[in-house]
Structure 1
């Protein structure tokens, strides 16, 4: 069963019994001005029981709830002891531990050059990389991924960690921040956030915590949509721009031509890190409905010692990293291309499949050159 479709269909609700046991998320007034919101972001430890100016905008049965360590929602899997206080935000599921996609947003606030956002997080899962957690910056319709923390999602993670990243703005800018996350349906799956602080300087003080600090990367010029086509949303991930089709369903040649019209190429999955970056991003964006996406992978028509290669910019490069489905590739012949399969069920995960290039009904991912 494909849970991605189920998530967007279920009613957005928290049971009354859950509300009695836990303090509900406070949704802040949208009338607050950006400068006042900036002041409120100076420190958010949730000890007051309020998340203001952060608010939950999750579309499924999983929601961000202020939880007290002394009264955890899931008694068998409480979080690690917080470094200070007793309260934090937790992705809270229903009694059936239904999996879901969760979003935590700020109201609009004024960011200044040199601002840094720091926070503590705990992410755990039955399967390694099973849950996802991303910090997103949004200016208007343009979203940029600042941090991806899914690599810390393991069954043995029993500690709070601290993450930190600069907010990349060259001048005072009104924007929002958001945490996008997906929490699975296993008993071990959990995500929590605490002590979110907007710091006006680069100095960070840590005590007894593992700190994750982002490296400074040049963010690509990435429009919110591919040449204004609202059916092809784009995101800046790492140092590249990626655009995902949603309703094109073309064969490989058509997909390749489409990407090139925007001075892009089909996706080349050149490293495991890039592959996980794309998969984690796909997991927390349920509007990306397809599970199969053409890549630039293709078997060449001629040449010596032929093998699959990334058909982007000549001379084409052979695969140096692979993640074939078990038993694949099933064909090493001209006329076969490669698609990237992604499954929300992490037991199936993500892998590559060889497929006839002239086959239709596949979406595709374009990436900046």
Structure 2
């Protein structure tokens, strides 16, 4: 990525700082105001579901986005690092490129457990909910007629999905998977499909951390 393009991505991102044991609550003139985050458990899911352990903030083990003045809010879970970045000026291709600047990829969601963890982190951290985020989900543009995780080749078909009721609404090339977290219950929440040209933030993941 050339220097000017990188600066464009950085300048369009308004994101929370990643601090051990703390969460962002407000950004004011470039100053991060934060509050202590004490919770170590997540709400119990319906009795027919499994309750999974909460994640832990471990920022020093997560990738570093160079020259990013605000940092990225990251979580460690299952041997991987997940980073949430907010913006209103990045399409799906731009989000994919942004993740690469941190040696990460756009998010693949392969199990219900992983899906639930991503949702809980987004729901219970002020500043992350009611924001749109791109994932690596995309309808195949290569004539495969399927939804797939298009973070790195070879692309992976979606064996697990969690579409919002009635979704996806547009299964055709040019459609990508978008997340928006809210205070709704996980089992009432679901994924959405939007045109890949729309603007949103990004959820990035690492293959593993030390």
Quickly name the TM-score band, shorter chain normalised: 0.5 to 0.7
From 296, 314, 318, the counterpart of 2:153: 314
- Could you tell me the TM-score, scaled by structure 2's length? 0.67
* Aligned equivalents of 1:327, 1:344: Cα separation in 2: 20
Q: Deviations over 1:196-234 (max 9, x none)?
A: xxxxxxxxxxxxxxxxxxxxxxx99315x5335225222
CA contact (8 A) 2:105 2:206 kept: yes
CA contact (8 A) 2:74 2:84 kept: yes
2:206 counterpart residue number: 368
SS state at 1:280 partner: helix
- Could you tell me the TM-score, scaled by structure 1's length? 0.40
Q: Which has the higher strand share?
A: 1
Distance 1:323 1:247, change over 3 A: same
SS state at 2:121 partner: helix
* Aligned equivalents of 1:272, 1:243: Cα separation in 2: 19
Alignment of 1:283-298 (within 5 A): 283-298=123-138
2:92 counterpart residue number: 252
Shift of 1:348: 7.8
Distance 1:289 1:325, change over 3 A: closer
CA contact (8 A) 2:116 2:186 kept: no
Shift of 1:284: 2.1
CA contact (8 A) 1:265 1:367 kept: yes
Alignment of 1:156-171 (within 5 A): none
Count the aligned residue pairs: 166
RMSD: 3.1
From 130, 143, 162, the counterpart of 1:323: 162
From 181, 196, 204, the counterpart of 1:342: 181
* Aligned equivalents of 2:165, 2:124: Cα separation in 1: 26
From 114, 132, 151, the counterpart of 1:274: 114
Q: Deviations over 1:231-283 (max 9, x none)?
A: 52222123111111123531101101111122111111111100111111122
* Aligned equivalents of 1:149, 1:233: Cα separation in 2: 18
Unaligned runs of 5+ in 2: 1-24, 26-34, 48-52
Alignment of 1:1-369 (within 5 A): 103-104=37-38, 134-135=39-40, 148-150=41-43, 152-154=44-46, 221-223=61-63, 226-227=65-66, 229=68, 230-304=70-144, 306-346=145-185, 349-360=188-199, 362-369=200-207
SS state at 1:298 partner: strand
* Aligned equivalents of 1:220, 1:238: Cα separation in 2: 16
Unaligned runs of 5+ in 1: 1-58, 60-100, 105-133, 136-147, 156-163, 165-178, 181-218
Distance 1:321 1:153, change over 3 A: closer
Higher Rg of the two aligned structures = 1
* Aligned equivalents of 1:221, 1:103: Cα separation in 2: 19
Distance 1:272 1:228, change over 3 A: farther
Q: Which has the higher helix share?
A: 2
